[in-house]
Amino acid sequence: MKVLMLNLFFVTFSFAQAGLLPLPDRAPSPADNPTTRAKVHLGQQLFFDARISATGTYSCNSCHDISSSGENNLRNSRKPDGTFSRHSVPTVWNSAFQNAYFWNGSAASLEDQAEGPLEEMGLGDTGRVVKRIAQIPGYQSAFAKVFPGETPAVSLPHLTKALAAYERTLITPHSPFDRYAKGDAQALDARAKIGLDLFISVGCVTCHGGANFSSAELKRFPLFPGTSYDGEAANYRVPTLRNIEWTAPYFHDGAVATLEGAVDIMARAQLNHPLKPDETAALVAFLKSLTGEPPSQRLPRLPKLSSPFGEN
């Protein structure tokens, strides 16, 4: 018993000392946008509403798929205006625990982030998105209830606040790593435990830390030559590694199809530490232990349109 407890203590201590944390059950909310049940519900409706796109077929969920990986597993995504995104879509799962949004880290909060996709809905500017939402009677009353006394009730800041409040609930708990971090020594198998040790010792944890295996700071990539990214160095936000097994293809350009390939490139480009095949396999086993359980949720019902927008 004493040995077991010492062992547990040691394990917990080592990854906690390295800065890795289990995923919280709830995300904190900013002082100016407290999470409320009604706001989350409104945000979910907006997230699933394709009426915010020029084509009427794109919602937030079209690219950040809540039924799936929180993204779309594509290199680039065709946008409502027919053009393709330059970068691979990041997952919305656990985005509450990110500190930098978009691949270039140009947004510092979920509220700021939400403006970006709204601008890409093919309606020219976000003003037309707001106008469409304001034209739906059920949204008028819902916004007035969620943001009492603030006029106009339907506004871009209110849209992004509601979307952010919903996104803060998109948390995937109960991954094997989280169960391990909370004391279940059996939650990781031997190979994944070797992978965790490697993750810390070779330096992955330097950038991929905290509860979300991410970082608040932008990082230069690549740092070392010898990969297909030579000569393309730029500063990127650090993507979460949670559910990474489920979010192929990898990197900002979605050019890498497998987790093994991504680990190999990161080890060389960022750590100048080429891995042996069994080390890569152990790291991949550990990374797969970061796959959590998306919460079950009800499909929202969207408020009815009183008359069509008269555009396609």
- So which residues are the catalytic ones? 120
Residue whose CB is less far from its own copies, 205 or 256: 256
Q: What tokens appear for 151 in the block?
A: 């006029």
22 preceded by cis ω (within 30°)? no
Q: Find the DSSP H helices in 48-182.
A: 60-63, 110-119, 126-134, 137-146, 156-167, 176-181
C-alpha dihedral over 235, 69, 293, 261, to 10 degrees? -60
Nearer to its own copies, 148 or 308 (CB): 308
Q: Please list the residues that pair with 238 across neighbouring strands.
A: 215
Residue numbers at the binding site for its own copies (CB under 8 A):
45, 48-51, 55-58, 62-63, 65-69, 72-78, 80, 82, 84, 245-246, 248-249, 254, 257-258, 294, 296-302, 304-305, 307-310, 312
Between 29 and 135, CB nearer to its own copies: 135
Q: How far is the CB of 12 from its own copies (least distance, A)?
A: 29
How many CA atoms lie less than 13 Å away from 197 in the CB half-sphere?
10
Residues in Cβ contact with 34 at an 8 Å cutoff, skipping those fewer than 6 apart: none
The residue assigned the tokens 């497998």 is 258
Nearest approach, Cβ of 170 to its own copies (angstroms)?
12
Contacts (Cβ under 8 Å, ≥6 apart) of 177: 22, 187, 188, 196, 286, 289, 290
Q: How far is the CB of 2 from its own copies (least distance, A)?
A: 41
Q: Please say which residue, 48 or 102, places its beta carbon nearer to its own copies.
A: 48
Q: How far is the CB of 300 from its own copies (least distance, A)?
A: 6
C-beta separation of 15 from 200 below 8 A: yes
Residue 123: CB minimum distance to its own copies, A:
13
Complex with its own copies: residue 277 or 310, whichever CB lies closer? 310
